[in-house]
Structure 1
């Protein structure tokens, strides 16, 4: 925390009701100074270039940029600024992505006043902090973890590796001396085994499970 015990906080959210509510909530916290409220990522990035912000309460749905990308930009420009997500998005994958991009914590907008102030303090102390509901979401295993690693044949592993490198069906057929029809059959089998609908999702899970 700052030596004079005063904390500068900014709010980035395009819902006026949320901004007003959070500001009102923090009025009683004399050590927290609200430096500004911003409805777009661009406005906040312009502000932080010339102003010190100790902690920012960041929404994910903004009119000009995703909070997921903005979080990374904030940390690149001002590594000392704590990013505390305050959002309605409760998807586990989004929570994990925000943490990977440098967020210090994640709260849903239905968090209590006590949870918010507690999380602000914890984030400023260098902790990773969550509201109670977010802790429960994180504790649940992801869908891919629940599915486990599919059993693949040697040929399927070869084809999966080539798909991940961006080789086309025709290209794989040439490399493996198989017909394109056979490759397509293997591709369908891989999608089925991983329980996904497209190649992008297939590659994502394969990477997560260390198969490619």
Structure 2
């Protein structure tokens, strides 16, 4: 059959692998070419085999799904990668899609939905689970408004500068720097500088 879609699964959880294998092997339109618990093993396989679609977990011990997707798309741009994960965090989905993934599916997806998603992805469509679409839309609504001065303070904090150093560099008082820090913590809804920098980086403020 010319329209058979070749697929591999990359996931380090045996139960998940077994479930996905069962679903895909019961579809005549899909050729399951391999299952891997290691992203590096999958990359080695792709170096010698052509695959249409890769189902990629996010959290794996040797290489995370985002970095693995970047590596696959760099060497095999025609291969479609779709995340299949338990992580329903909008920031993770954003990073996965930005890395070149064609979709982001949650592992609670129904068998028929998974098969349809693979067909859609093979036809160059983007596919994102409805639950993730809602999470990503909600996240867009929550993006804080940051003033130019606050963005300057944020950038210097990310560089590891202390309050006195930031005050000297921006020619403002230490009290003013602390006010900006406090406002940033409130706007990003975090409790410390490390969390602030992490969240601001995810939201592309840094």
TM-score normalised per structure 1: 0.81
Residue 56 of structure 1: aligned partner = 54
What is the correspondence of 1:1-212 to structure 2 with a 5 Å cutoff? Answer: 4-139=2-137, 141-142=138-139, 145-146=141-142, 148-149=144-145, 152=147, 156=150, 159-160=153-154, 162-163=156-157, 167-180=161-174, 182-203=176-197, 204-205=199-200, 208=203
Q: Give 1:120 shift.
A: 0.2
Contact 1:149/1:209, CA 8 A, preserved across alignment: no
CA distance in 2, matches of 1:128, 1:169: 44
**Which 5+ residue runs of structure 1 have no aligned equivalent?**
none
Deviations 1:71-116 (A, max 9, x none): 1111112111111111111111111111111111111111111100
Q: Give 1:155 shift.
A: 5.7
Greater radius of gyration (CA) = 1
Q: Give 1:4 shift.
A: 2.4
SS in 1 for 2:7: strand
Contact 2:144/2:187, CA 8 A, preserved across alignment: no
* Inter-CA distance 183–25: structure 2 relative to 1 (3 Å threshold): closer
TM-score normalised per structure 2: 0.83
CA distance in 1, matches of 2:149, 2:114: 52
* Inter-CA distance 83–188: structure 2 relative to 1 (3 Å threshold): same
Contact 1:115/1:131, CA 8 A, preserved across alignment: no
Count of residue correspondences: 205
**Which 5+ residue runs of structure 2 have no aligned equivalent?**
none
Q: Give 1:147 shift.
A: 6.0
* Inter-CA distance 106–159: structure 2 relative to 1 (3 Å threshold): closer
* Inter-CA distance 198–9: structure 2 relative to 1 (3 Å threshold): same
* Inter-CA distance 95–165: structure 2 relative to 1 (3 Å threshold): same
Q: Give 1:29 shift.
A: 2.2
SS in 2 for 1:172: helix
SS in 2 for 1:84: strand
Instruction: Give the aligned CA root-mean-square deviation in angstroms.
Output: 2.8
CA distance in 1, matches of 2:201, 2:65: 26
Contact 2:54/2:79, CA 8 A, preserved across alignment: yes
